[in-house]
Amino acid sequence: MAAPVPASSPPPTPAKETRSFNVALIGNPNTGKSTLFNLLCGMQSRVGNFPGVTVEKKIGHVNWQGQQFHIIDLPGTYSLSPRTLDEMVSVDVLLGRQKDVGHPDAVVCIVDASNLERNLYLVSQVLDMQLPVVVVLNMCDVALARGTTIDATELSQRLGVPVVKAEAHRAVGIDDVRNAIAAAAKSSPVEARKKVFPEEFYSECDQLATHLTAGGAADVPEFLIQRMILDPGGCVEAEYTKKCGNNLPQALTECRERLKSAGQAVPAIEARQRYAWIREVLAGIHTRPTTRSVTFSDKLDRLLTHKFIGVGIFIALMFVVFQAIYAWAGPFMEIIESAQGWLADLVALTLAPGPLRSLINDGVIAGVGGVIVFLPQIVFLFLFIAILEDCGYMARAAFLMDRLMTKVGLSGKSFVPLMSSFACAIPGVMATRVIENRRDRMVTILVAPLMSCSARLPVYILLIAAFIPAVTLFQVGPELSIGGFVLWSGQVTLPGVVLLGMSSLGAVIAVPVAWILKKTMFRGETPPFIMELPSYKWPSPRIVFYRVYDRAKAFVMRAGTLIFATTIIVWAAGYFPGDHTAQHKLETQIEALDDTPENEAQLEQLVDRHNAVSAQLIETSFLGRVGHAIEPAVKPLGWDWRIGVGAVASFPAREVIISTLGTIYSMGGDVDEESEGLKESLQQARWPDGRNVYNVPVALSIMVFFALCAQCGATLMVIRRETNSWFWPVFTFVYMTALAYVAALLVYQVGMRYF
Amino acid sequence: MTTLDGLKLGERARIVEISGDDGIAIRLMEMGLIDGEEIELLGFAPLGDPIEFELRGYRLSLRKNEARRVSIEPLPQA
C-alpha cells in the first residue's frame, strides 16, 4: 500500500538516467595528461594498483550535468603495442577487459600540439579501437610560440572525432574538454574509420581470427588480433599462445612471412603506415617552422648539458636542494616538535600517571610525531622535485647521469629516485614511477633504502659525538664564513670523515648490490634509453601544488598509519608485563614538586629512583626479555642486550633507537641525540664483568648496522604498494638485514684486532 | 653503411633502415625513426653517451647502443 502523498510535496520527477560513464585518459609522457586529470577531477581521485602489475591506477569521480563520470588516468605511453604486462594494462582498460574498471564509454587522447606528428601515432592506434574519442590539443600556446600552426576544425574533420584546444597548464579550455567528453560518452557506437593498413593485412587478420576460433579462442577483439601480428614476441602473442590450442606461434610466423613477401614486413609496416597516415591527415593544415630556430630552451640546454658547465651546475643544484631541505625544514620541524611537547604536557596535566597516559604520550604522540616531524623535509624535497620535473630539468638529469649509472647496471632515470632517497626512501621509491622499464625500476626500488636517509643522521650524530675523538686530520685552506654562518671550517676532522663515510656507505654498497641483482634476479639485455627531452618551461604553481599535495598526503596517510601502529606495539612490548604502580607514584611525586632550589636535591633523588625503576621495568618487559633472548645473536657484533633491544625496537623506524636507549639507560625516554646525559651514559655502560660496553669498534658496528639495515616499516610498506607484492618488501628486509649483520660483524671483529 | 652513432655534432642525415624486429626496433620506429625521415645530431651527454637528436620537430635522446641500430645516409650540411 502506498503512503499518502502530502499535498505540499513536489511533483514526482521522471526516473532519471542514473547510468555512470567511464572515461579513459591516455597520452604520451610529458603531454600534460596528469595536469588535465587533476583539473577534471580536482582532488577527488582514488589511487590504487592494477592487479598484478607495478603501474599506478588513478580514478577520479566527478559529476557533470547531473551524471557521474569515472575518469581513469592511464600511464603515459608512446604507443599501444604492449611488450610488458604494465603496458598491457592500458590496452586491457581500453578494451574493457579490466574487470574492476568496466568498459570505457569514451577515450580522451591528450596530444602535445607542439609535437603533433609523433603524438598522433598513439591517436591512430586508439582510433582503431572503435571507441568514441576526444582529442585534446594541449600546449597550444607553446606550439604557437614555436611557430607551429594547426587548423583544429579541419583536423577534427579529417580524424572524424572532436578536437578540443586546451592549455592545461593555465587551466584554459577545460570546460570545452568537459563538454566534449560528456557528448562523446553519450554518443552512439562509432562507425569503423578509414583503414590505415593495406587490404592484405586485414585479410591476414581474418585468417588469424579463424585460426584462433579453431584453436578454442573465439571472439578475440579485432585490435588484439592486429597486435598479435604486429608485435613479434609481445604480450598479446604470449597470452593467446597459452589460450589457443593449435600452434599459434607457427601460424603467426607464416602470416608474417606472407606479409613480408607482399612487401609489408612486420614490424616496420605499422610505423610506416601510421606515419604515412599522419602525413596525410596533417597535409596542409599543420605547419612547422622549416628551419629550426635556436630557442631560449636550446641556449639553456647548451649550458645545462655541457660537458663541464652542465655537470657543475647539476652538482651545485643538488647541493643547494639538499642544503635547502635541511635549512628550510628546520624551523617547521621545531614547530612540530614543540607542538608535540605541548600536547604531551597537556595530556600530563589532565591525566594522572598510568597506562593510559603512557600509551597516549609515549605511544601515540611520540609515534605520530615521529612521522609528522619529517613532513617538512619531505614537502620541501617534493617541492624541488616537482619544480624540476615540471620545468623539464629532470629529463636532463637523467640524460647527464645515464653513462655513470649504466656502469652500475642502472639507467639515468634511476638517478633522481636514488638522490631523493638520501632525504627519505619513501619519496625515493615513489619517484621510481618515472622509470618505465620494469627491471630498472625494480632494482632501483630495491637499492633505494640503502641510501642514507635523514632518520639515520641522529644515530650517527649521537654515536660519533660519544666515541669518535674530535681530532683534526688536516687543515685545508682558511675558514670561510658569511655573516657568522660557517661554510667551511678549513679543517677535516675525524668525526666529519666518519659521518661522511657512514652517509655514503649505503650508496657505495648499493653499487655491488644493484650489479648482483641485475646479474641474478633481473637478468636480460640492458633496456634501451629512448627518451624524449621536453623543452624547458616555467613550472606551473598549480601543478607543483597538486604534486606536492598528492605525495605529501600519500606519505602522511600510509607511512603515518604504519609507524603509528608499530610504535604502539613497541610501546606495549616495553610497558607490559610489569607492575608500574611504583613508577607512576614516583612520577606523581616528581610532578607535585615545584622546581625550586630547595627542592632540587629531593627532585634529583626522585628522578634517579624513577629512572632506576623504569630501567628495571623495561628489563623485565617483553621487550627486555626479547633483548636477553637475542643477546647471543648480537654479542658477536660487540653489542649487549640493551643495544639489541634498541635495534629490535628500531625495526619499524630507526629513530626509535635514541629514545629506546634513553629509556634503557635509566634516563627515561625523554632524551635526544644532543643529550649530554645519554652520551655519558653510553660511555659509562659496563658489561657484568666491568668492561666498557661501548668502544670505537662497537660504535662503528652499530652505525654500520643502522646504515645498511631496513629499519623502516614505512619504506617496506611503500615498496609493497609500488610493487603490488609482499615478496619484494620481505626480500628487501631480508637482504638488507643480512647485509647489515654481516657488515657490523666484520667491522667489530676486524676493529677489535686494532683497538 | 653509416649508422646514427657515427654522426658528428650538428650533422644531418636521412634514415635508411632500422635493423632487427625486437622491442627496441619497434620502439625506435614508434618514436618516428622511419626510413626517409631526416634527423640531426644536437649534442652529447658529458661522458659522450647518450646522444641528443632532433627529428619531426622534437628532441630525442638515445644511447650509442640504440643509435647503432639505425643506418643512415648523411646529408650535406645546410
- Tell me, what's the ipTM? 0.94
Q: Which of B31, B47, B61 sits opposite A118 (nearest CB)?
A: B31
> What is the H or E stretch that residue A88 is in?
helix A85-94
Is A54 annotated as ligand-binding?
yes
Which chain B residues are closer than 8 Å to A301 by Cβ? 43
User: Domains of chain A, with CATH numbers?
Assistant: 20-186 (3.40.50.300), 199-273 (no CATH), 305-521 (no CATH), 559-752 (no CATH)
**DSSP secondary structure letter of residue A9:** S
Which chain B residues are closer than 8 Å to A148 by Cβ? 57
Fold of B4-74: SH3 type barrels. (2.30.30)
Question: Cβ distance A140 to A166 under 8 Å?
Answer: yes
Q: Is the pLDDT of residue A17 over 60?
A: no
Assign A667 a pLDDT band (cuts: 50, 70, 90). Answer: very low
**φ/ψ of residue A249, rounded to 5:** -55, -40
pLDDT on residue A4: 47
Lowest mean pLDDT among A116-130, A204-218, A485-499, A620-634: A485-499
Assign A53 a pLDDT band (cuts: 50, 70, 90). Answer: low
Is A56 annotated as ligand-binding?
yes
Which chain B residues are closer than 8 Å to A118 by Cβ? 31-32, 56, 58
Query: What pTM was estimated for this model as a whole?
Result: 0.79
> What is the H or E stretch that residue A106 is in?
strand A106-112
Mean pLDDT of chain A: 82
Contact A306 B35 (CB under 8 A): no
**Which residue, among A448, B62, B47, A283, has the nearest Cα to B15 in the 3D structure?**
B62
B33-55: per-residue pLDDT in tens? Answer: 999 999 999 888 888 889 999 99
Q: Which of B35, B46, B59 sits opposite A533 (nearest CB)?
A: B59
DSSP string computed for A669-686? S---TT-HHHHHHHHH-B
% of chain A residues with pLDDT over 90: 24
Q: Which of B37, B50, B58 sits opposite A399 (nearest CB)?
A: B50
Lowest mean pLDDT among A424-428, A723-727, A744-748: A424-428
% of chain A residues with pLDDT over 70: 88
Nearest CA in chain B to A534: B59
Assign A5 a pLDDT band (cuts: 50, 70, 90). Answer: very low
pLDDT on residue A668: 47
Which chain A residues are closer than 8 Å to B66 by Cβ? 528-530
Q: Is the pLDDT of residue B68 over 50?
A: yes
pLDDT on residue A437: 79
Which chain A residues are closer than 8 Å to B22 by Cβ? 232-233
pLDDT on residue A120: 95
Compute the nearest-CA separation of B64 from chain A (Å).
10
Q: Tell how strand A21-27 and strand A106-112 pair up.
A: parallel
pLDDT on residue A433: 78
Contact B62 A529 (CB under 8 A): yes
Q: Is the pLDDT of residue A661 over 80?
A: no
Is A99 annotated as ligand-binding?
no
Supply the angle between the helices A268-282 and B23-30 in degrees, to the nearest 10. Answer: 10
A706-715: per-residue pLDDT in tens? Answer: 999 998 888 8
Q: Which of B26, B43, B60 sits opposite A532 (nearest CB)?
A: B60
Contact B43 A528 (CB under 8 A): no
> Alpha carbon of B68 to those of A168, A182, B10, B19, B65: distances in Å?
38, 47, 18, 9, 5
Burial class (CB in 10 A: 0-12, 13-18, 19+), A568: middle
User: Span A487-508, mean pLDDT?
Assistant: 80
Cα–Cα distance for residue pair A531/A551, rounded to 1 Å: 25
Which chain B residues are closer than 8 Å to A529 by Cβ? 50, 61-63, 66
A354-368: per-residue pLDDT in tens? Answer: 778 777 777 777 767
Degrees to nearest 5, angle at CA A379 with A378 and A383: 115
- Tell me which of A713 and A492 has the higher pLDDT: A713
pLDDT on residue A562: 64
Which residue bears the cell 655502560?
Answer: A685
Nearest CA in chain A to B10: A292
Is A38 annotated as ligand-binding?
yes
Assign A664 a pLDDT band (cuts: 50, 70, 90). Answer: low
Contacts of A526 (CB under 8 A, 6+ apart): A406, B65
**Which residue, among A558, A660, A563, has the nearest Cα to A367 in the 3D structure?**
A563
**Adjacency order of strands within the sheet including B12-18:** A531-532, B58-62, B51-55, B38-44, B12-18, B70-74, B2-3
**φ/ψ of residue A305, rounded to 5:** -110, 20
Assign A573 a pLDDT band (cuts: 50, 70, 90). Answer: confident
Q: What number of C-beta contacts closer than 8 Å exist between A and B?
A: 120
Assign A563 a pLDDT band (cuts: 50, 70, 90). Answer: low
Q: Which amino acid is at A160?
A: G
Is A74 annotated as ligand-binding?
yes
- Tell me which of A409 and A451 has the higher pLDDT: A451
DSSP string computed for A704-740? HHHHHS--BHHHHHHHHHHHT-SHHHHHHHHHHHHHH
Adjacent-strand bridge partners of A47: A58
> What is the H or E stretch that residue A141 is in?
helix A140-145
Lowest mean pLDDT among A192-196, A304-308, B46-50: A192-196
Contact A270 B57 (CB under 8 A): no
Domains of chain B, by residue range, sit at: 4-74
pLDDT on residue A293: 66
DSSP string computed for A329-393? HHHHHHHHHHHHHHHHHHHHHHS-SSHHHHIIIIIIIHHHHHHHTTHHHHHHHHHHHHHHHHHTH
Q: Tell how strand A472-475 and strand A491-493 pair up.
A: antiparallel
pLDDT on residue B51: 93
Mean pLDDT of chain B: 89
Lowest mean pLDDT among A7-16, A477-486, A541-550, A675-684: A7-16
Is A35 annotated as ligand-binding?
no
User: Span A234-253, mean pLDDT?
Assistant: 89
Grid coordinates representing A137 are 590539443
